Amino acid sequence: MRSVWIALVLILLSESVNASSCGAEVQLQVLGAGGPEITDSRVSSGYQFWLDGRSRLLLDTGSGSSFSFEQSQADFADVDAVLLSHLHTDHSADLPTYIKGSFFTRRNRDLLVIGPDKNSRMPATSEFITRLFGQEGAFPYLSDYLQKGLESYQILSEDVPMEKGAALYEKAFPWGKVTAISVNHGPIPALAWRIQMAGCVVVYSGDLSNKTDKLAQFAQQADLLVIHMAIPESAGQIAKSLHVTPTEIAQIAATAKPRQLLISHLMRRSEPELSTTLKQIQENYAGKVVVAQRLLTVPVSSRGAAK
C-alpha cells in the first residue's frame, strides 16, 4: 500500500508542474446518470471524454448508454479505449451493443478494454470479454473480434490487479494517461479512475464505499471529480458496505478540493436527499457542484459551462 501512495504522490507532483495547461477542449459527457433500476426513467452509468471535438474514451457502458452515445453524434472509430469501473450490469451491459454496432462504423483499429481483475465472486475483465464474445460465449457470432485479422479490428483487454500491495496501474495514450486504484465495493472488484487528458485531470469514483478511505487522496488536484450518490444517509449496512453516503461525499469533496464536482448515479432512494446533500457539500467545499443528467456536457477546462 505504501508503494501505491508514493507512486500517487509522484503522479500528483508531475501533474502540478503542468496544472495550468488544462486549456484544451476537454469535455466529459454523461451518457447515463442512473443505477440498475428499471423504474427511474434513467440510463445506467456511462460517460465519454471529448477532446477537440472527438470522442476519445468511454468510461463504463451501462444499460442504455450506447443509445446516448449515438444521440451525441460521436464516432466509435475515434474511441481509443473503454475503461470499466466494475462489471455490474449497470456499468457494463451495453458493451456488446457497442461491439456489434461498430460493424456499421468505419472503425479499423484495435479496441482496448480495461477493467478489474477477478476475485472469487467475479471474473477478470479479460474473462468477461471471452464469456461475452468467445466461440463458447454468449454472443459467439461476434467471436471474430477476439482474433487478429478476422474483423476490421480486434478487442484487446487488460486486467487491473486488485490484490493488496499491487503496483499502481497506469496506461499511456497519445493525449495523456489513465491511472486506476482498487476501491471497496463490497465483495465486487472495483476501480476508481484518474484520467489525465491534454493537461486536464478527471477522477471517476465508480461505485465504492469509503471503507478504504482512498478516494479523497486519489482525487487531489483534479479539475473534475465524478462521484456516485446511490444511497441515502439512512441506508442499511449492506448498502453502506457498497456505496458512499451523502455525508461521506461531502467529506471527500472538502478534502480533495476538486475544481468541479459532478454528482451522478442517482437512484430513487437517494434522490430525495439531493438538495440536503448539495447544501452539506457546499458548507465546506467552494468549487462548482453539478448534478448529472443524460447528455449533459461538462467542460473540464476553465473555459465554458456545463450544458
Q: Parallel, antiparallel, or unpaired for β 46-51 and 26-32? A: antiparallel
Q: Tell me the pLDDT tens digit for each residue of 221-251.
A: 999 999 999 999 999 999 999 999 999 999 9
Q: Is the pLDDT of residue 17 over 50?
A: no
Q: Tell me the pLDDT tens digit for each residue of 75-103.
A: 999 999 999 999 999 999 999 999 999 99
Q: Is the pLDDT of residue 262 over 50?
A: yes
Superfamily of domain 25-296: Ribonuclease Z/Hydroxyacylglutathione hydrolase-like (3.60.15.10)
Q: Name the pLDDT band for 259 (thresholds 50, 70, 90).
A: very high
Q: For residue 1, what pLDDT is reported?
A: 56
Report residue 147 as a C-alpha cell: 482474433
Average pLDDT, the chain: 93
Q: Where are the domains of the chain?
A: 25-296
Q: For residue 303, what pLDDT is reported?
A: 46
Residue range 151-171: average pLDDT? 92
Identify the weakest region by mean pLDDT among 25-39, 170-184, 291-305.
291-305
Q: Tell me the pLDDT tens digit for each residue of 55-73.
A: 999 999 999 999 999 999 9
Q: For residue 166, what pLDDT is reported?
A: 74
Question: What's the rounded Cα separation, in Å, for the pair 236 and 2?
Answer: 32
